[in-house]
Structure 1
Amino acid sequence: MTRPTSRDVAAAAGVSQATVSLVLGDKWRGRVSERTAALVRETATGLGYRPNLAARNLRLGSTRTALLVVPALTNEFFARVYTGAARIAAEHGFGVVLYPSPDGTGPARDPFASARAALDGVIASSMAAAALDAIGGDDLPLVMLDSDPSSTGAAAHINLAMADGMHQVATHLLHHGHRRFLHLASAVDSWTFHVRARALADLLTPTADLTTVKAPLTVDGGRRAVETALAAPGPRPTAIVCDDDILAAGACKAARRLGLRVPEDLSITGFDDLALATAVEPELTTVALPAERVGEQGMTALLAALDGTPWTAPDIPVHLVVRDSSGPAPTP
Structure 2
Amino acid sequence: MPPVTLKDVAQHAGVSHQTVSNVLNGHPHIRPTTKERVLASIAALDYYPNQAAKALREARTTTVCCVFYGHNPEDISDPYRNLVQSAFIAEAQAHGYSITTAFVNDDADLTQLRQRFLQREFGGAVIVGTVLTPSQVHTFQAWEMPVVLFDHALPSTTNVTADYPEGMAALVQHHVLQGRRRLALIIPEQDLGSTSIRRREGFLQTCARAGVEGAVYDGTWSYDAGYRAMQALWAGESRPDAVLGGNDRIGAGALRAAHDLGLRVPEDVSISGFDDFEFAQFTTPSLTTVHIPHGDMARQAVRGLISLIDGTESESRVFPLSLVVRESA
Both structures adopt the same fold (TM-score exceeding 0.5): yes
Quote the residue 2:223 is aligned against: 219
Encode CA deviations 1:256-296: one digit per residue, 9 max, x unaligned.
Answer: 22221111101011011112212320010011111111111
Kindly indicate whether the alpha-carbon contact (under 8 Å) linking 2:246 and 2:273 is maintained by their aligned counterparts in 1. Answer: yes
Look up the match of 1:254: 257
What TM-score, normalized by structure 1, do the two folds share? 0.74
Q: Do the aligned partners of 1:85 and 1:297 also contact (CA within 8 Å) in 2?
A: no
How many percent identity over aligned positions? 26
Query: CA shift at 1:211, angstroms?
Result: 1.0
Whole-Å separation in 2 of the counterparts to 1:108 and 1:128: 15
**Whole-angstrom CA distance in 2 between matches of 1:172 and 1:261:** 19
Question: Does 1:51 pair with 2:55?
Answer: no
The aligned counterpart of 2:3 is 6
C-alpha distance in structure 2 between counterparts of 1:220 and 1:147, whole Å: 26
User: How far off its partner does 1:129 sit?
Assistant: 4.0
CA distance in 2, matches of 1:161, 1:282: 27
What SS class does the counterpart of residue 127 from structure 1 fall into? coil
Deviation of 1:298 (Å): 0.7
Aligned to 1:270: 273
Q: Indicate whether 1:144 and 2:142 are aligned.
A: no
Equivalent AA in structure 1 for residue 206 of structure 2: L
1:68 aligns with 2:66: yes
TM-score (norm 2): 0.75
**Alignment pair present for 1:194 and 2:197:** yes
Among 182, 185, 202, the alignment partner of 2:184 is 182
Alignment gaps of 5+ in structure 2: 10-44
On the 8 A contact 2:244/2:271 being kept in 1, the answer is yes
Q: Quick check: 1:205 aligned with 2:204?
A: no
- Indicate the residue corresponding to 2:30 in structure 1: none
Alignment of 1:14-163 (within 5 A): 50-51=48-49, 57-61=56-60, 63-70=61-68, 71=71, 72-100=75-103, 107=106, 110=109, 112=112, 114-116=115-117, 117=119, 118-127=121-130, 129=132, 138-139=142-143, 140-150=145-155, 152=156, 154=157, 156-163=158-165
Q: 1:55 to 1:199 in 2, by over 3 A?
A: farther
Note the C-alpha offset of 1:49: 5.7
Structure label with greater radius of gyration: 1
| Structure 1 unaligned residues grouped into runs of 5+ | 13-46, 327-332
Question: In structure 2, what residue type is equivalent to 1:59?
Answer: E
The aligned counterpart of 1:168 is 170
1:252 is paired with a residue whose SS is: helix
Amino acid at match of 2:109: D
Deviation at 1:313, TM superposition (A): 4.4
Letter of the aligned partner of 2:147 in structure 1?
A: L
